[in-house]
Amino acid sequence: MVYVRKRRLTEAAELLAKTDTPILTIALECQFDSQEAFTRAFKNQFKETPGKYRKLNERFKLLYKNKFDHHTLEHRHHVITMEPTLITKPELNVIGIPSIYQYDDFDIIKLWSAFKKRKEEISNVALPINGFGIYENYLEGSGENAHTVFTYLCCVGVTTLSDIPNGMVGRVIPEQLYAVFTHRGSVTNIDNTLRYIWGDWLPASGYTYASRPDFELYSDRYSPENKKSEIDLYIPIKKA
C-alpha cells in the first residue's frame, strides 16, 4: 500500500509537470478524497506543495526517496508514538482566534503566546482546560508568486458558544474517530512527526483521512520549556 501510494503521488507529479490540468482534478484522478488530503500527502512526500512543484525547473529532483538516517530513527524511537491510540471523541465546542498563514511565516510558538493574552476573555471554559490548535481552510494558490495558505485556529474547549468575544469565532467539532499520536519535546520539529503520520503510518494503516479538521491538543503535559513536553495530534480517520 505504501508503494501504491507513492506511485500515485509520482503519477500526480508527472501530471503537474507536463499538463495544465487543475490540481483538484489531478487529486481526484489519483484517488485522493479531496485537494486538501492530496496537498498534505504531496508535501510530505516531496517537501513541496503541488503548486510550488509545478513551477520548479528541476522537478526530477523531488522524485528521489527521503534519506532515512540516524536522526530520523532517533525521532521515531524517542519523539513520537509509532502506533496511535484510536479514540472516538464526542462533539466538542471551541472558541478562539483564527489567523491566516503561509507555510513560510507560520510560527506556532508566537501564535500561542499572543492567544494566551486574550484567553481570559473566554467564559464557560470547559474542564480540563486544554488548548486546541485546529488546521482548516487550506487553499492552494496559483500564478507566479502563489503560496499555499491555511487558517490556524488557537482555541479552548467551552461548554457553550453563547458568548463569543469580539474578534473570536466559535466552532463545533463533530464526533469523530481519531488516530491520536503523541509528539514529545520541542514543537519546532513537529513537521517530522507529521511526515511520519501522513507519509508512513496512514497509507499502511487500513484507514483513510476523513474530511474533518485535524488538531493539536495542548494539555497539562505540554510546556514549551520542558524537553519532555508532550502534544497529542488528532488525525480524523475512517475505514478504507
Longest dimension (CA), the chain: 54
Same domain, 38 and 93: no
* pLDDT at 104 (0 to 100): 65
Residue 70 within a domain: no
Neighbours of 84 (CB within 10 A): 22
Cα pseudo-dihedral 107, 113, 116, 118, rounded to 10: -80
Same domain, 53 and 92: no
What are 15-57's pLDDT values in tens digits?
998 899 999 999 999 989 899 999 999 998 888 899 988 887 6
Cell digits of residue 54:
509545478
What are 121-141's pLDDT values in tens digits?
999 999 999 999 998 876 665
Instruction: Look at 37-41, 128-132, 175-179, 189-193 and tell me which has the smallest mean pLDDT.
Output: 189-193
Is the peptide bond preceding residue 128 cis, with omega within 30 degrees of 0? yes
- Distance, CA of 146 to CA of 150 (rounded, Å): 13
User: Would you mind telling me the total number of residues written for the chain in this entry?
Assistant: 240
| Mean pLDDT, rounded, of the chain | 85
CATH number of the domain within which 89 lies: 3.20.80.10
Same domain, 133 and 200: yes
Domain endpoint, select from 32, 63, 94: 63
DSSP 33: S
Same domain, 99 and 199: yes
- Distance, CA of 90 to CA of 197 (rounded, Å): 23
Calculate mean pLDDT across residues 160-166.
Answer: 94
Are residues 236 and 210 in contact, defined by beta-carbon separation less than 8 angstroms? yes
Total number of domains constituting the chain: 2
Range of the structural domain that residue 24 is part of: 2-63
Is the peptide bond preceding residue 174 cis, with omega within 30 degrees of 0? no
* pLDDT at 64 (0 to 100): 45
DSSP assignment of 130-152 equals -EEEEEEEEE---STT---EEEE
Same domain, 131 and 47: no
What are 80-94's pLDDT values in tens digits?
888 999 999 999 999
Same domain, 183 and 234: yes
Are residues 177 and 209 in contact, defined by beta-carbon separation less than 8 angstroms? no
**Considering the entire predicted model, what is its pTM?**
0.67
* pLDDT at 47 (0 to 100): 84
Neighbours of 49 (CB within 10 A): 21
CATH number of the domain within which 8 lies: 1.10.10.60
Does the CA dihedral 45-46-51-54 come out positive or negative? negative
What percentage of the chain exceeds 70 in pLDDT?
Answer: 88
Same domain, 89 and 166: yes
* pLDDT at 183 (0 to 100): 93
